[in-house]
Chain A
Amino acid sequence: MKKRLSIDARGAVLEAATTEAARRGDDYIGSEHLLLATLARPEGVAAAALGTDLAAARRGLALLDEQALAGLGIEVDIARFDPHDRPRSTSRPRFTSGAKHVLHRAVIEAKREDATVITTRHLLLGVLGAEPPDAAVTLLGHLRCDLDAARATLAPSGVEAE
């Protein structure tokens, strides 16, 4: 039997989500940042399951913003704004309830598998458990990701390494 050494990915994913939020200038952590964070993980499990990558997801999020503003007749190149140009907050960014639900679902997924640690795969399953109008689900739709196929890929039997 192949012995697998899994470490809890929560700390690293939350750190990456915080980085992704700061990179955009968002002062909260939402499910969309958690999605980007799973794509940022070196295991590549999220990119493989979703058929996209971090760069495409980041661009997609900016494009959604630009489309929403274009709907109001506002043409703006988001990339021209510097996310560091904003009042610094002393407190850590708060989690949206959507983000809290993702973490909760990740724990449930791990428990269901009798896993001892929460992996990136569990966290991505947590993201995929969300329903519209969740921000991560909106982004996945924009990226034309096949969510059912991703869930099938991420099922325990379909994954060799995490």
Chain B
Amino acid sequence: MDVTQLDTAARSKDPVEGFRAVAALRRLADQLEARNVGLARRQGWSWEQIGDALGVSRQAAHKKHRRTW
């Protein structure tokens, strides 16, 4: 284990670090979701198919992303 890894291991006990990771993951997940909804819509996917892929209802997928696409 090198210095960087030790440093990382020590920091991972820190909730500041943990919450930051949570917030970053949420943000990146949202961005990834929106990007792929856009791709899917342009490729002719229905909102039902998109909802199924995301594990949500057609209505939920549409409601969340209709303003973007």
Contact = CB atoms under 8 A, between A and B. Distances in A.
Contact of B30 (A64, A65, A87): A87
Given A71-B11, A87-B68, A78 B24 contact: yes
Given A64-B20, A71-B12, A81 B28 contact: yes
Interface string B46-69: 000000000000000000110110
Contacts of A64: 20
Given A65-B21, A71-B21, 6 more contacts: A69-B21, A69-B24, A81-B28, A85-B35, A90-B67, A138-B16
A70 interface: yes
Interface in B21-38: 21, 23-25, 27-28, 30-35, 38
Interface of B: 8, 11-12, 15-18, 20-21, 23-25, 27-28, 30-35, 38, 64-65, 67-68
B31 A25 contact: yes
A26 interface: yes
Contact of B8 (A65, A71, A132): A71
A133 interface: yes
Interface residues of A, number: 25
A85 B34 contact: yes
Interface string A40-68: 00000000000000000000000011011
Contacts of B32: 81, 85
A15 B34 CA distance: 25
B34 to A, nearest CB: 4
A67 B34 contact: no
B27 A25 contact: yes
